[in-house]
Structure 1
């Protein structure tokens, strides 16, 4: 229970950590974006309004600079009246058009601007301000931009001197007030809008991040569950993750599943080996134990019984030796195929090597070899595994050749394949038994009833079948009872014809 709680905590922590990291990154980027948008927008708006103020001041200065005397209410009125009477005529296709170009001071100001004109003594003589008193002009205000209040409104003031175009002398001052209330309203609305957008965006992003993180962590959870189940029950190695995420997690899952496949195979072979050993050795051990017990009770003084018990004990001990060797061969060949895939062997040399060994061990047998290919044949199989396969076939032929002690081996090539034939003239195999001879520990009825120790366990052909399956070979059996058996092993040829 404690382990499950800790695992759940770790799983939740991983999902939470990923969510927090991604959310923090998104929140930071969104906030930076909002701040940049806010400051760039407000700076742009403020710069645009200051430019408009400068344009308004310049237009007013150009109009008023036409007088040659100090600014007074009278000459300002004359200038305005003169401007309003200025018309431009144009003729097009025989028709006359009038373009009114005269402007008043109000038309030269933007709707959020107010203007005040001062004489050269800095006294206000004309203003567009209606609800408050114009600001008093100080010497420090000239050629500057200052933030101040005009009545209830807050904005910035820009004051500039006016010089006469005729005399070049100072004739007065112009001051333009820009009302910042609209700017502040827009800035406040922009903040509200950005906060709303960021809140909505972060909320949606948080949902997406949580769902995406869970989906991302899900394959890990699947892999973790498989590992936890195997940790809780190590004998249950049939579990697989089967993750299909199309990324490195799937690759990790495949590696883990392949590891489980191999581990399951090793475990099954180990368990099978222990089961087979205990099963096959139970009978000879019981026989030996029985004969030894009989000798202890009354067989010491009976020479005939003593010889019979000793012979039986030797027979069973010899059987045990064959069993153990067969089982060790079976275990040794399993798990070694992956190390030698892609290697090739000179089939002719390997056959001659195996036959040479049998000629020494079985002097009462005749072994023949016929290479019908007429040249060296290189097959796609590891040399040691091929020699083991040939050894199993020849040993099997020797075991079941009681009367006709002849074993013939033939090597031929057909359709880019090598065909190795091992033929004997022994007991043969019944037709109904042929399909079972590659099963482990399977022996035909005759071999089961044999008193000779040469019959073995029936493991050899099972090992041969593993070699055949590992290298994609083909095996065929032709047999008749009391006439003999022929095994045909088909091996793909190597195009390079070079032995590894």
Structure 2
């Protein structure tokens, strides 16, 4: 049994389906054919027994209902009646109480059977020389005779029909099992074709890369089609993640190379002769400190972005009043940038609350306000607008600075993207702020979009879902 189980485990799924389907059908056919054969055989035997019993009653009635004296001679003279009701392969005989044969009529039976005595009580099946006989014996009593009527029937027609039924039943069963095996193989091949395609695609992905996909039939809507769809979608995500990771490594390497090169240059300068020149030493230390701060900020933002993209952000279901958070952030920026004018327009008709952690909303607003200040160019005005549309809260931050080209609007949320690389590097930007803001808003099922006219203005709108109206008392 264990060897069979090990053998089955080593077989391909196609053969497992074929073998198990054939085995199940074999068991079903055996059970069904056995029951059918038993029922048919029992019914035919009962028909033979009922027929011979009816014939016995007919003979007994013939003798008992005669109006005249019925003795031995009358019994002998009744052979005409017995011949009339006698059937093929059947013996009807009358014997007296001592067992002496009085009359016997037989058709297609051996002559020795006519004189062979039988020991039978009522109804019995016997086998003589390999032949199957049904024997029925009943007493006959008239006003002049006491004896027995015996009917012996050769059941060779029954045996022939039973054999034919057996042969047809089991031949049909064997043929059906054979066809079921072939059909099971074809069905298994058809069902496993998509899985084979999935396996082939995986092998191609292993050899050629992530661009391979499982071919799909648009008309196919079964579970395997769903599996193929999920696999393709997963591979799309994996490919996108791989590309992002590759781009991330390239961008991070590029961003880290500049401050490291600057630090290396100043250290070489100091090592050669600058350490003996106080002016050069002070300048190099100051520049190195700035680059270290830049490296520190870059590493912090990279870690923050990695944490967000790995879904380790703690999504808090607190309800906060966003207007208060916006006003607090504007106050902070007013103190940090006294030369700027920050205006806040509140279009909310009634107070609302949004399902977001206060610190996360504050971080998003700080990133957007900081970008607005950095890229304001000659303008010193930043406009903040709060509004609600249906069951959503929106806050927009608009600056009148260098703007963003239309073809780059979708790129500003990518990591390390800068509208003006020279200006942003001077201001210490790493190009990660908007990526962090977008990921944080996405984690709360919100959205962040940008609109801009190059050289004139940029407007970034944050939309947060699940707004709860507050009833003032």
Match among 449, 456, 459 for residue 487 of structure 1: 459
Question: 1:444, 1:34 → 2: CA distance?
Answer: 82
Structure 1 residue 377, shift from structure 2 partner: 3.0
Bigger Rg, structure 1 or 2: 1
Q: Which residue of 1 aligns with 2:72?
A: 72
Question: 2:287, 2:312 → 1: CA distance?
Answer: 39
Structure 1 residue 380, shift from structure 2 partner: 7.0
* Cα distance change, pair 477–17 in 1 and its aligned pair in 2 (3 A): closer
The worse-fitting range, judged by mean Cα deviation, of 34-43 and 323-332 is: 323-332
For the residue of structure 2 that corresponds to 1:140, the secondary structure is: coil
CA contact (8 A) 1:379 1:491 kept: no
Q: Which residue of 1 aligns with 2:95?
A: 118
Match among 147, 154, 161 for residue 172 of structure 1: 147
Match among 175, 182, 195 for residue 157 of structure 2: 182
Match among 143, 159, 168 for residue 122 of structure 2: 143
For the residue of structure 2 that corresponds to 1:128, the secondary structure is: strand
Pair 1:400 & 2:400 matched: no
Taking the TM superposition and a 5 Å limit, the aligned residue runs for 1:454-469 are 454=428, 456-466=429-439
| Runs of 5+ consecutive residues of structure 2 not aligned to the other structure | 1-7
Question: 2:268, 2:25 → 1: CA distance?
Answer: 85
Structure 1 residue 293, shift from structure 2 partner: 1.0
For the residue of structure 2 that corresponds to 1:319, the secondary structure is: helix
For the residue of structure 1 that corresponds to 2:106, the secondary structure is: coil
Pair 1:23 & 2:22 matched: yes
Question: 1:407, 1:68 → 2: CA distance?
Answer: 138
For the residue of structure 1 that corresponds to 2:451, the secondary structure is: strand
Taking the TM superposition and a 5 Å limit, the aligned residue runs for 1:183-262 are 183-224=158-199, 236-237=209-210
CA contact (8 A) 2:403 2:458 kept: no
For the residue of structure 2 that corresponds to 1:195, the secondary structure is: helix
- After superposition, give the CA deviation of every residue in 1:171-200 in whole Å (9 maximum; x if it has no partner): 332211111111111122112111210121
Structure 1 residue 224, shift from structure 2 partner: 4.9
- After superposition, give the CA deviation of every residue in 1:292-326 in whole Å (9 maximum; x if it has no partner): 21221222333443344334333433333343344
Pair 1:473 & 2:440 matched: no
Match among 115, 135, 159 for residue 157 of structure 1: 135
* Cα distance change, pair 361–170 in 1 and its aligned pair in 2 (3 A): farther
For the residue of structure 2 that corresponds to 1:129, the secondary structure is: strand
Question: 1:157, 1:358 → 2: CA distance?
Answer: 118
Q: Which residue of 2 aligns with 1:295?
A: 270
* Cα distance change, pair 492–472 in 1 and its aligned pair in 2 (3 A): closer
The worse-fitting range, judged by mean Cα deviation, of 206-215 and 406-415 is: 406-415
The worse-fitting range, judged by mean Cα deviation, of 24-33 and 105-114 is: 105-114
Structure 1 residue 279, shift from structure 2 partner: 1.1
Root-mean-square deviation (CA, aligned residues, Å) is: 4.1
Question: 2:193, 2:412 → 1: CA distance?
Answer: 48
* Cα distance change, pair 422–449 in 1 and its aligned pair in 2 (3 A): closer
Q: Which residue of 2 aligns with 1:43?
A: 42
- After superposition, give the CA deviation of every residue in 1:76-133 in whole Å (9 maximum; x if it has no partner): 42x678xxxxxxxxxxxxxxxxxxxxxx323323334221222344222322226514
For the residue of structure 2 that corresponds to 1:330, the secondary structure is: helix
Q: Could you state the TM-score of these two structures normalised by the residue count of structure 2? A: 0.79
Taking the TM superposition and a 5 Å limit, the aligned residue runs for 1:414-433 are 414=389, 417-425=392-400, 427-429=401-403, 431=405
| Runs of 5+ consecutive residues of structure 1 not aligned to the other structure | 1-8, 82-103
Question: 1:148, 1:404 → 2: CA distance?
Answer: 120
Structure 1 residue 411, shift from structure 2 partner: 1.4
Structure 1 residue 49, shift from structure 2 partner: 0.7
